[in-house]
Amino acid sequence: MNKYLVLALVLMLAVTVAACAPAPTPVPPTAVPVVQPTAAPPPTTAPTVAPTAVPPTTAPTAAPAKPVEVQFWTGQSGPQDAALKKLADSFKQKNPNITVVVTYQGNYTDLYKKVSAAIAAGSPPDITIGYQNDISNYIKSDAVIPLDDLMKDPKIGFSDADMKDIFPAFIDKYPQYGNKVYSLAFMRSMEVMYYNNDLLKAAGFTKPPETWDDFLKACAAIVKPDIPCYEMPGSGAASTFADWVFSRGGDVVSADGKTVAFDKQPGLDTMNFLNDLFVKKYAILQAKAYQDQTDFSLGKVVFTFGSTAGLPYYASAIKDAGGKVKDWGIAPAPHSIKDLVVDLYGPSVAVLKTNPEKQQAAFLWLKFLMDKDPNAEWVKATSYFPARASTKDALADFIKANPLYGNAYGWLQYGRGEPTMAAWNPIRNFIGAAMVAVANGKMTPADAIKDAAKKSNDALATP
């Protein structure tokens, strides 16, 4: 059967698990200065592989001989759409023969539907943004090109200095497709722990907890009937779970992407820890979406976990609440292993199969978005993290106005990405449901992990 007809047949099923942002907080259109932050102590251990802020050597651009138009379909609206169009104008000034047409196609679910339909019709866009599980479906349709050769091209690819400068978590390898690079990111969010330092200091703590034992000690000292230690989303929090598993030395899927890995000891330890929080009445479930932000701003919860994209929203909520919380900050999740690990997630960009000229032009556009100065402009408009360590040099004023963001920038080198396979979206739902079942006392941690793992492995085994 023709591959595009196959895609069309499965589309109705696929869209039900179309990508949803792992971040539980919407991305702010503009950066809001964070007030009175408390910086977490910097990590003292080095990651296994860390980028260095080496000024990249820009490879010469091989401009197309004839004018080329690149259709770029996105899920970015409002100020973000305007920022991308402004960057497209800057790109054209440097590449006169390439015109990038930025087109907002709706939210990520709508975007996925439209790209899938365009692929099935044989008229895909030249390049698009999407979550890795959606891009994996495009790869399955043989509609996306691997980027390895273009990245290594001596004329238009990345230099050795570029590769040292780019954070590894911004380069997406797909284990189910030969571990090739099929997408790159120019933006990421980070899972972090928000903490109320007023409550910590009142209980005699001088810094946020760095280990899970320290976390429990803080909970035991601070928790009151009206002040829980942790507030968990009512639908679970798969990115938080992944972050907690990483912090214990585990992973959520196997290296080859064929089975889950969260059913190993680090995953079970994570679920047991969550169970302890609820059994000891240290944790509560959110009554409604973003209730944790509201309660945090009122000083009614000690810790929350979520995306750095929420920083401006936390700052705004605290201001609107009349400044009841005077001293607060963010830190990486506590960890029980030597090396610090943080969960980095967000959409990536894939180049679709069209013709060599358009594919090369689309790659040049993607490379431009990942360059230091254009990426810095994007950061200022969105508060995402950029792809390069050296971009920090271009963000001095932004970081001065947003010190918590600047503090978190130092943790990018410890970043680990979430899985890239199509099944990750349903797996996230299975993990979230398991967390809620444990929180409500309806399943033991062992049974919840076992049930989520079985459903997840079934999803991974589905062609």
Q: Tell me the pTM.
A: 0.85
Pair 78, 215 in one domain: no
With 60 as the cut, is the pLDDT of residue 60 above it? no
| Domain carrying residue 135 | 58-188+346-388
Helix (H, G, I), strand (E, B) or coil at 206: coil
Cα 263 from Cα 260, distance rounded (Å): 7
Alpha-carbon dihedral angle through residues 375, 376, 381, 387, given to the nearest 10 degrees: 50
d(CA 420, CA 173): 7
Q: Are residues 297 and 331 in the same domain?
A: yes
What pLDDT shows up at residue 64? 76
Tens digits of per-residue pLDDT, 77-134? 999 999 999 999 999 999 999 999 999 999 999 999 999 999 999 999 999 999 999 9
pLDDT bucket at 63, cuts 50 / 70 / 90: low
Q: Is residue 39 part of a domain?
A: no
For the stretch 244-282, pLDDT in tens is 999 999 999 999 999 999 999 999 999 999 999 999 999
134-148 burial, b at 16+ Cβ within 10 Å, e below that, comes to bbbbbbbbebbbbbe
pLDDT of residue 394: 96
- Residue 179 inside a domain? The answer is yes
Neighbouring C-beta atoms of residue 217, cutoff 10 Å? 14
pLDDT at position 406 over 70: yes
Percent of the chain predicted with pLDDT > 70 = 86
Mean of all residue pLDDT scores within the chain: 88
Residue 268 lies in a domain: yes
**Sign of the four-CA dihedral 59, 185, 88, 372:** negative
Domain at 95, CATH number: 3.40.190.10
Alpha helix ranges (H) inside 155-248: 160-165, 197-202, 212-222, 238-246
Cα–Cα dist 455/203, whole Å:
43
Note whether 225 and 282 are same-domain residues: yes
In a domain, 48, yes or no: no
Position 409 scores a pLDDT of 94
**According to the model, what pLDDT value does residue 463 have?**
75
pLDDT recorded at residue 104: 98
- Same domain, yes or no, for 332 and 449? yes
Residues 265 and 375 in one domain: no
157-208: pLDDT as tens digits: 999 999 999 999 999 999 999 999 999 999 999 999 999 999 999 999 999 9
Give the mean pLDDT of 225-236: 94
Is 403 part of a structural domain of the chain?
Answer: no
Q: Indicate whether 107 and 133 sit together in one domain.
A: yes
**Residue 359 above 70 pLDDT?**
yes
Q: Is residue 416 part of a domain?
A: no
* pLDDT for residue 53: 41
Do 129 and 160 belong to one domain? Answer: yes
CA distance 145 to 341: 30
Q: How many domains does the chain divide into?
A: 2
Task: Verify that 357 and 288 share a domain, yes or no.
Answer: no
- Please give the pLDDT value at position 130: 96
DSSP secondary structure letter of residue 355: -
> 325 with 218, same domain?
yes
263 belongs to a structural domain = yes
Backbone angles phi and psi of 191, in degrees to 5: -80, 125
Identify whether 46 is part of a domain.
no
Please give the average per-residue pLDDT across 386-398, as a whole number: 96
Task: Looking at the structure, tell me whether residues 178 and 209 fall in a common domain.
Answer: no
Instruction: Give Rg (Cα) of the chain.
Output: 22
Shared-domain flag, residues 326 and 264: yes
Q: Any idea what the Cα angle at residue 425 is, between residues 453 and 448, rounded to 5°?
A: 25
Element (H, E) at 159: none
How are beta strands 98-104 and 415-417 bridged, if at all? Answer: unpaired
* Distance in angstroms (rounded) separating the CA atoms of residues 276 and 310: 27
Tokens encoding 17: 């698990």
Is residue 193 classed as helix, strand or coil in its secondary structure? strand
Average pLDDT over residues 458-463: 90
Rounded to the nearest 5 percent, the helix, strand and coil shares of the chain are: 45, 15, 40
Same domain, 145 and 210: no
Distance CA 166, CA 385 (A): 12
Q: What is the 3-state secondary structure (H, E, C) of 295-354?
A: HHHCCCCCEEEEEHHHHHHHHHHHHHCCCCCCCEEEECCCCCCCCCCEEEECCEEEEECC
Place of tokens 């995953």: 267
What is the per-residue pLDDT for 54?
A: 38
pLDDT at residue 15 in the model:
38
Which amino acid appears at position 64 of this protein?
A: P
